[in-house]
Amino acid sequence: MYLRSSFARSFANVFASIMSTKKIPADPIGNVQYHVSRKWASIDQGRASALTTARKLERITEGQPSTDANFVVFGSLARREWTPKSDVDWTLLIDGQADYQHLALAQEIAKRLDKAKFAEPGRTGIFGNMTFSHDLVQKIGGQDDTNQNTTRRILLLLESLAIGRSESRGRVRRLILKQYLNNDYGLRFSTLPFKVPRVLLNDIVRYWRTVTVDFLEKQRMQAGQGWGLRNAKLRMSRKLIFATGLLSCFSCDLLADASARQQLIGRAHSTIAMEEHLRNFMERTPLEILATVVSELRINKRTSIKLFSAYDEFLALMSDSRKRDRLKRLTPDSARGDKIYEEMRKFSHSFQEGLTALFFKDHKRLQELVTFYGVF
Amino acid sequence: MRILGFSTGALAYGDFRRALDILKAKRIRAVELSALREHELAPLVDSLDSLDLSAFEYVSVHCPSSFDKVRESDVIDLLMKIAPRKWPVVVHPNTVYTPSKWNKLSGLMLLENMDKRSSEGRTAAEMAILFERLPYAGLCFDVGHCRQVDSTMNEAYAILTHFQPRLRQVHLSEVNSKSKHDPLSGAAIRAVEQISHLIPEEIPIILESVVSEDEVETEISRAKQALSPVSSNRKVETFYISVG
C-alpha cells in the first residue's frame, strides 16, 4: 500500500518494528549485486518481465477477482523469474461464502488466459482451478492433507502472488501461519536456545521430499516426457523454494526483532509478532529471501556469487527457447553426454555448492540451526 | 466492571424508541443511538429533547454509514446539534470527504475500523493514514469488522496496541461473510478472549449483534464471557501447567 505522508510512513516503520520485522533493503537482490560488483542480467530480466506480465494479467482479469475470491499465481511469475516460455500456474483462491458462481469465475479466467495465449498450467491438477481456504487452513497433516493440499499451502506461503485483489490471499496466509506457529508448543514453551517454527519447517521439508519422490513418479507415468526440464527445475527452482523455506524458518531466530522473541518467551507465549515477521519475510520472492539472508548475515562474497551466478545461468537457459526445448525433449536415456544437459548439470552443481557453503560453512549460527533442525 | 450496552439499530431496526424501551426494561446502562441510514439522522436529532436517557451511563450516536459528498456539510451540521451533549459520534471513514470539516466535532468523533468490503480503515496501517487526516478523532474499535478482515486477530492486536490512547468505544458482534452483524458465536468469543486484555475496563462496549428482545441478556452474558480477563488469563495459565 502506498503511504501518503511522512507520518504514515513513520507509522509503518514503527508498526513494522513492533511487529518484529527488521528493516530490509527495498531491493535485496540489487543490494547483493552492488556488494559483489556483479550484474545478473537474466535475473534482472526475469523480474522486469514478471512485472510486465503481472500487469498484463491484471488487465486481462480485471473485474473478475473479489475480496473473497482472489486470482493467485504461483511458479515463475510469482517468483519474478518470468521467461518467454513460462506458463501461468494459477488458482482462484476462495475464502468466503460458497457461491455457485465461483466455478464460472474460474472458467472465465481460464478462457481469458487462453485467449491471451498464456500457456496452460501443468497437468497435475494443482493449478488452473479453484482452491478453498478451509482445506489449506484446517487440514495440516493427517489423511486429508493430500499431496495437492500440502503443495498449495506451502506454495501459497513461499511462492505466490495475487493479481488484482489480494485480500483472501492475505487472510489465508495469516491463518496458515497462525496454525503452524500458535500450535507449535515447542516454539512457544521450550527452553531451547533456538526459536524456530519447527512444525512449519517440517512441513516445508515434507513438501520438498515429496517433490523429489514425485519426480520419479512423473518419470515413470509420463514415460520420460519432459524429464530434462523437470530435472533442471528440481535442481534449481524447486530446490531454491526449499532452501528459502528453511531460511524463512531460521529467520525467526536470526533476523526477527528481539521483541518477537520476547513475546514468545513472555508470560503469554504469544506468537503474534513472530507470525507477522514470517508473513512479511515470506512476502519476498525466493531470490529476494536468499539475497536478504546473504546480506544480513554477511555471507562471504564467493558464496553469494556462486549462488546467484548459477541461478542466473539457469534463468538464461530457461529463456533460450532452443535450449529449453532441447532440455524438455531429453529423457533419462538420452541425457548423458548431451551438451545442454551437461551445461545445466554444471551450474546446478555450482548452485548446490553455494547452498552447502551457505548452510554449513559460512555462518556459525546458521550452521548450528541446520545441524539441529535439518535432519532430526 | 465493564459498561455494556446495545446499538438501537441492532435491537429494533429503524425504531430507536422501541430499542430504548427494551434496554431500559432490562436495566442496560449503555446505548448507541443508531442513525445508520441518512434519513434516520434528522428525526433522531429532533427527538433527543423528548427522550428520557437518564437510565444510561453512556450514550453515543452512530452517524449514517453512507451519504454523498454534497450531503457532508448537512450531516455535520446535524451532528453539531448533538455536540453540546458531549456524546461520542461514531463515523465510518468512507463518509469523511473533507477532513477539515469534521474537525469541528473535535474529540467527539470516533473513527470506526471497517470490514473487508471497504478499501480503507481495515488495518492498523490504513487507520494510521486516516488518523493523520483526523488528528482529533478517537477510535471506535469494531471487533467483528477486524476479525472479518483477519481472523487470526493479529490485526486487532496491532490496532489496539498502536491506537490504545485513542480508544473510546468498542463495537462487538459476529460479522458474517456477507458483512451482517450476527450474535456472537463460540469462535467469535474465543477470538475476543485473545485480545480482551487490550481493552481497558472503562471502555464502553456496544453490542451490534442483531438479536430479539428475548436474546438480549444472553448476548450480554456472552459478551461478558468474551471480555472477561479471567478467561484469557486462565487460558495462559492452563498452557503453563499442561506443558510446563
Which DSSP string do the residues of A338-368 spell out, in sequence order? Answer: -HHHHHHHHHHHHHHHHHHHHHHTS-HHHHH
Q: Identify all chain A residues contacting B244, using CB atoms and an 8 Å cutoff.
A: 189
The average pLDDT across B98-112 equals 93
Interface of chain B toward chain A, CB-CB under 8 angstroms: 116-117, 124-126, 128-129, 132, 149-152, 154, 157-158, 161-162, 177-178, 236, 239, 243-244
**Cα dist from A291 to A26, A234, A294, B181, whole Å:** 11, 20, 5, 46
In a domain, A68, yes or no: yes
CB atoms A177 and B152 under 8 Å: yes
CB atoms B151 and A275 under 8 Å: no
pLDDT at residue B236 is higher than 50: no
pLDDT (0 to 100) of residue A308: 98
pLDDT at residue B238 is higher than 50: no
The region that residue A72 occupies, defined by phi over 0 for left and psi between -120 and 50 for alpha, beta otherwise, is beta
CB atoms A275 and B178 under 8 Å: no
The average pLDDT across A89-110 equals 92
Residues ≥6 apart with Cβ < 8 Å to A337: none
In a domain, A1, yes or no: no
**Domain hosting residue A96, numbered range:** 7-375
Find out whether B105 and B83 touch, Cβ atoms under 8 Å. Answer: yes
CA B38 to chain centre: 18
Of A192, A160, A196, nearest to A271 (Cα)? A196
pLDDT at residue B145 is higher than 90: yes
Find out whether A96 and A130 touch, Cβ atoms under 8 Å. Answer: no
Q: Which residue in A14, A268, A275 is closest to B154 by CB distance?
A: A275
- Distance between B115 CA and the closest CA of chain A, angstroms: 11
Taking CA atoms, what residue in B is nearest to A180?
Answer: B152
In a domain, A309, yes or no: yes
- Supply the Cα-derived Rg of chain B in whole angstroms: 18
Which DSSP string do the residues of A220-250 spell out, in sequence order? Answer: HHTTTTTHHHHHHHIIIIIHHHHHHHHHHHH
CB atoms A178 and B154 under 8 Å: yes
% of chain A beyond a pLDDT of 90: 78
List phi, psi (to 5°) of A43. Answer: -65, -45
**pLDDT tens track for A20-72:** 444 445 799 999 999 999 999 999 999 999 999 999 999 999 989 999 999 99
pLDDT (0 to 100) of residue A167: 93
**pLDDT tens track for A152-170:** 999 999 999 999 999 999 9
% of chain B beyond a pLDDT of 90: 86
Q: Which of A17-21, A224-228, B59-63, B85-89 has the lowest mean pLDDT?
A: A17-21
CB atoms B177 and A68 under 8 Å: yes
In chain B, what is the straight-line distance between the N-terminal and C-terminal CA atoms, in Å?
32
CB < 8 Å from B in window 227-286 of A: 267-269, 272, 275-276
Assigned C-alpha cell, A66: 473479489
**pLDDT tens track for B12-40:** 988 999 999 999 999 999 999 999 999 99
d(CA B74, CA B71): 5
Tell whether A98 is within 8 A of chain B (Cβ): no
d(CA A40, CA A46): 10
Q: Which residue has the higher pLDDT, A19 or A303?
A: A303
% of chain A beyond a pLDDT of 70: 92
Tally of structural domains, chain A: 1
CA A19 to chain centre: 22
Q: Tell me, what DSSP letter sits at residue B91?
A: E
Q: Which residue in B129, B149, B154 is closest to A8 by CB distance?
A: B129
Of A163, A162, A145, nearest to A154 (Cα)? A145
Per-residue pLDDT band for A2 (boundaries 50, 70, 90) equals very low
Amino acid at A343: E
In a domain, A93, yes or no: yes
CB atoms A171 and B151 under 8 Å: yes
The average pLDDT across A186-208 equals 95
pLDDT at residue A6 is higher than 70: no
In a domain, A259, yes or no: yes
ipTM of the complex: 0.76
Residue of B118, B126, B152 to mutate, interface with A, max A Cβ within 10 Å:
B152
pLDDT at residue B126 is higher than 50: yes
Assigned C-alpha cell, A38: 556483479
The average pLDDT across B131-154 equals 95
Residue of B134, B154, B160, B197 to mutate, interface with A, max A Cβ within 10 Å:
B154
- Distance between B10 CA and the closest CA of chain A, angstroms: 23
In a domain, A271, yes or no: yes
Q: Identify all chain B residues contacting A188, using CB atoms and an 8 Å cutoff.
A: 239, 243
pLDDT (0 to 100) of residue B148: 94
CB atoms B128 and A12 under 8 Å: yes
pLDDT (0 to 100) of residue A127: 82
Edge-first strand listing for the sheet containing A129-132: A129-132, A90-94, A69-73, A161-163
Of A25, A13, A20, nearest to A291 (Cα)? A25
- Distance between A148 CA and the closest CA of chain B, angstroms: 24
pLDDT at residue B241 is higher than 60: no
In a domain, A313, yes or no: yes
In chain A, what is the straight-line distance between the N-terminal and C-terminal CA atoms, in Å?
41
pLDDT at residue A18 is higher than 80: no
- Distance between B161 CA and the closest CA of chain A, angstroms: 10
CB atoms A272 and B244 under 8 Å: no
pLDDT at residue A109 is higher than 70: yes
Show the CA angle centred on residue B31, arms to residues B26 and B37, nearest 5°.
125
Q: Which residue in B124, B152, B177 is closest to A175 by CB distance?
A: B152
**Cα dist from A157 to A129, A150, A176, whole Å:** 18, 11, 8
CB atoms A15 and B154 under 8 Å: no
> In which element (H, E) is residue A94 found?
strand A90-94
Per-residue pLDDT band for A17 (boundaries 50, 70, 90) equals very low
Q: Which residue in B151, B157, B158 is closest to A175 by CB distance?
A: B151
CB atoms B236 and A18 under 8 Å: no
Per-residue pLDDT band for A7 (boundaries 50, 70, 90) equals very low
- State whether the Cα torsion A249-A253-A257-A258 is positive or negative: positive
Of B150, B143, B160, nearest to A174 (Cα)? B150
**pLDDT tens track for A230-265:** 999 999 999 999 999 999 999 999 999 999 999 898
pTM of the model: 0.86
pLDDT at residue B82 is higher than 50: yes
pLDDT (0 to 100) of residue A25: 52
pLDDT (0 to 100) of residue A123: 64
- Distance between A304 CA and the closest CA of chain B, angstroms: 35
pLDDT (0 to 100) of residue B228: 86
Tell whether A16 is within 8 A of chain B (Cβ): no
pLDDT (0 to 100) of residue A266: 85
**pLDDT tens track for A347-370:** 999 999 999 999 999 999 999 999
Per-residue pLDDT band for A225 (boundaries 50, 70, 90) equals confident
Q: Which of A9-18, A222-231, A309-318, B108-117 has the lowest mean pLDDT?
A: A9-18
pLDDT (0 to 100) of residue B229: 64
d(CA A48, CA A81): 9
CB atoms B154 and A174 under 8 Å: yes
Tell whether A184 is within 8 A of chain B (Cβ): no
